């Protein structure tokens, strides 16, 4: 009887494990099936590098280059803001802060991660967007820059907590060795601790960026959603994610537009997958 | 006297780890500090380069003079103190950098030198720890790939490169095999010509083999301090005798 129970439990656990793999494969296949259909109408090169996204004109123009650039621009901006601040924050928490400050900071960063993106988007819309508009004297504050700033807030918790972990797990003996040679605290940090933690910090950055590029709600609310070729941070852009979210509701099932949105999904999937794999490589790189 | 302590006390929180330690170390000799684990020998060693400062809740009283300067003084310059008083740790702790960068680490933090001068420092330091022939073609490889003994030698080379005059060794051979231990001991005898060496060890044979003077510590007290020969052959204190004859430890 006991053996039988063990057997059942073992198989149930196995089934749960297989289920997650199964679902991933099914989702992926569905995405491929629906997305690849668009290439009957448009060549992959024209799809990826076409400059016009007019999915419901006749005939539809399905070039997603402006959307890819929109996503990259917003992500790049967010990375430029969040990476230096995030790493500096991680260094402060891991190395400089007194125990009490450290606890408070760590808790508040977790709290930052817990804010739903739609709330961040909303706050951005009523505070950041008007500021950007008046500071740069623009016709609208719904710009790539606003999106980048808001997304930087979303990337920061990931970057800080993973980078802090990486710094924390540098063996204490490295630090002692450097200090015992007469290095100052700062010299120890940037000559020993940061290089020793570099793979973990790179992984933190990649995961932070991965979070930004997949983010939808906040960017949709504050980047202005104009599917135009972006030329600067100070104009409205539209990202890949926002396009899917905004248009899927009105696309006719089985239309070119519908298939094109799925194909955008494939592009996003490939980008996120590449970022996660890179992060993984850094995290597990053996020294 | 190179190093002299006067009524040195040290507390970790409420635990007193050193009790009224009065001791004097002579220049260019190897002094061993022996005693059972937890007796305060590593703590005493770490007073001399103020490494105990890293631990929270440490309090020290008394005086410690190195070349006549009281290093317990809060105004003491830790950077130049640690440049003068180097330390070799129990576990070899090379940085995850190349062999070359490990050795020039000290030069880089204490003011840059020309590439030629750095190359010379690397060669001299590696030669003095007898690693030059083994590693001269591997200078750009990561130090993490070396054997344990090579790592420990590299750590000593890294130290020599900043030209300290005192070398503190905290059980430097405890992770090494007997052959490697023997070779490190030979190196210590060689280094004695130029450096004042203090070694903490729980290995009494090692203390007997390499040291000129020896101190025995127990429960934070320095029980006995004399020439190594005398400590091992005619200890004055009953507790020392019991320890070296293996009654406890």
Are B95 and A183 within 8 A, CB to CB? no
Are A182 and B155 within 8 A, CB to CB? no
**pLDDT, mean over chain A:** 92
For chain B, domain boundaries: 3-96+166-244
**Dihedral, A211, A216, A222, A227 alpha carbons, nearest 10:** 110
Cβ-Cβ contacts under 8 Å for B207 (sequence gap 6 or more): B32, B34, B199, B201, B214, B228
Q: Is A97 on the interface with B (CB under 8 A)?
A: no
- Percentage of residues in chain A having pLDDT higher than 90: 77
pLDDT band at B244 (very low <50, low <70, confident <90, very high): confident
Token look-up 């076409």 returns A50
Residues on chain B touching A192 (C-beta within 8 angstroms): 95
Say if residue B248's pLDDT is above 90.
Answer: no
Say if residue A285's pLDDT is above 60.
Answer: yes
Mean per-residue pLDDT, A95-106: 93
pLDDT reported for residue B245: 87
Give the whole-angstrom CA distance, residue A181 versus residue A188: 10
Are A192 and B95 within 8 A, CB to CB? yes
Q: Is A98 on the interface with B (CB under 8 A)?
A: no
pLDDT reported for residue B249: 64
Cβ-Cβ contacts under 8 Å for A165 (sequence gap 6 or more): A200
Give the whole-angstrom CA distance, residue A130 versus residue A140: 8
Mutation site for B-interface testing, chosen from A96, A181, A287 by largest number of B Cβ within 10 Å: A181
**pLDDT, mean over chain B:** 91
pLDDT band at A286 (very low <50, low <70, confident <90, very high): very low
pLDDT reported for residue A74: 94
Give the whole-angstrom CA distance, residue A187 versus residue B95: 13
pLDDT band at B93 (very low <50, low <70, confident <90, very high): very high
Are A191 and B158 within 8 A, CB to CB? no
pLDDT reported for residue A287: 44
Residues on chain A touching B78 (C-beta within 8 angstroms): 182
Token look-up 């906040």 returns A218
Are B93 and A174 within 8 A, CB to CB? yes
Say if residue A198's pLDDT is above 60.
Answer: yes
CATH homologous superfamily of B3-96+166-244 equals: P-loop containing nucleotide triphosphate hydrolases (3.40.50.300)
Are B158 and A176 within 8 A, CB to CB? no
Residues on chain A touching B144 (C-beta within 8 angstroms): 287
Q: Give the pLDDT confidence of A120-158 residue by residue, as tens digits.
A: 999 999 999 999 999 999 999 899 999 999 999 999 999
Q: Give the pLDDT confidence of B219-242 residue by residue, as tens digits.
A: 999 999 999 999 999 999 999 999
Q: Give the pLDDT confidence of B126-172 residue by residue, as tens digits.
A: 998 889 999 999 999 999 999 999 999 999 999 999 989 999 999 99
């Amino acid at each position: 009887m006991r053996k039988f129970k063990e057997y059942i439990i073992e198989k149930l656990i196995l089934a749960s494990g297989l289920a997650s793999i199964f679902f991933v494969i099914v989702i992926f296949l569905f995405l491929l099936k629906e997305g690849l259909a668009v290439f009957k109408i448009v060549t992959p090169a024209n799809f990826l590098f076409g400059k016009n996204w007019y999915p419901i004109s006749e005939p539809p123009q399905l070039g997603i280059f402006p959307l890819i650039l929109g996503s990259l621009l917003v992500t790049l901006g967010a990375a430029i803001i969040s990476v230096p601040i995030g790493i500096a924050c991680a260094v402060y928490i891991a190395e400089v802060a007194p125990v009490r400050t450290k606890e408070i900071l760590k808790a508040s960063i977790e709290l930052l991660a817990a804010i739903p993106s739609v709330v961040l988007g909303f706050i951005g819309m009523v505070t950041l967007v008007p500021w950007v508009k008046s500071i740069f004297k623009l016709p609208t504050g719904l710009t790539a820059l606003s999106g980048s700033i808001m997304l930087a807030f979303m990337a920061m918790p990931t970057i800080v907590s993973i980078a802090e972990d990486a710094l924390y797990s540098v063996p204490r003996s490295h630090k002692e060795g450097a200090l015992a040679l007469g290095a100052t605290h700062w010299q120890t940090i940037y000559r020993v601790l940061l290089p020793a933690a570099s793979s973990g910090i790179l992984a933190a950055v990649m995961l932070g960026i991965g979070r930004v590029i997949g983010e939808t709600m906040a960017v949709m609310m504050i980047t202005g959603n104009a599917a135009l070729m972006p030329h600067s941070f100070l104009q409205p852009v539209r990202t890949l994610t926002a396009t899917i979210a905004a248009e899927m509701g009105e696309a006719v099932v089985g239309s070119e537009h519908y298939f094109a949105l799925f194909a955008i999904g494939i592009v996003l999937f490939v980008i996120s997958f590449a970022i996660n794999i890179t992060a993984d490589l850094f995290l597990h790189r053996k020294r | 006297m190179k190093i002299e302590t006067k009524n040195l006390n040290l507390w970790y929180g409420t635990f007193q780890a050193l009790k009224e330690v009065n001791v004097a170390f002579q220049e260019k000799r190897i002094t061993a500090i022996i005693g059972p684990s937890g007796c305060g020998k590593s703590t005493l060693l770490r007073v001399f380069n103020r490494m105990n400062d890293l631990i929270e809740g440490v309090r020290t009283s008394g005086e410690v003079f190195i070349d006549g300067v009281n290093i317990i003084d809060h105004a003491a310059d830790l950077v130049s103190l640690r440049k003068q008083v180097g330390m070799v740790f129990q576990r070899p702790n090379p940085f995850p950098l190349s062999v070359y960068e490990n050795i020039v680490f000290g030069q880089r933090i204490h003011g840059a030198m020309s590439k030629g001068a750095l190359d010379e420092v690397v060669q001299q330091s590696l030669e003095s720890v007898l690693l030059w022939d083994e590693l001269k073609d591997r200078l750009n490889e990561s130090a993490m790939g070396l054997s344990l003994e090579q790592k420990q030698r590299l750590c000593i080379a890294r130290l020599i490169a900043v030209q300290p005059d005192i070398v503190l060794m905290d059980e430097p051979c405890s992770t090494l095999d007997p052959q490697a231990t023997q070779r490190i001991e030979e190196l210590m005898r060689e280094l004695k010509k130029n450096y004042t060496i203090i070694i903490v060890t729980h290995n009494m044979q090692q203390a007997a083999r390499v040291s000129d003077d020896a101190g025995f510590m127990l429960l934070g007290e320095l029980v006995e301090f004399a020439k190594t020969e005398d400590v091992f052959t005619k200890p004055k204190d009953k507790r020392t005798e019991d320890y070296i004859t293996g009654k406890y430890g």
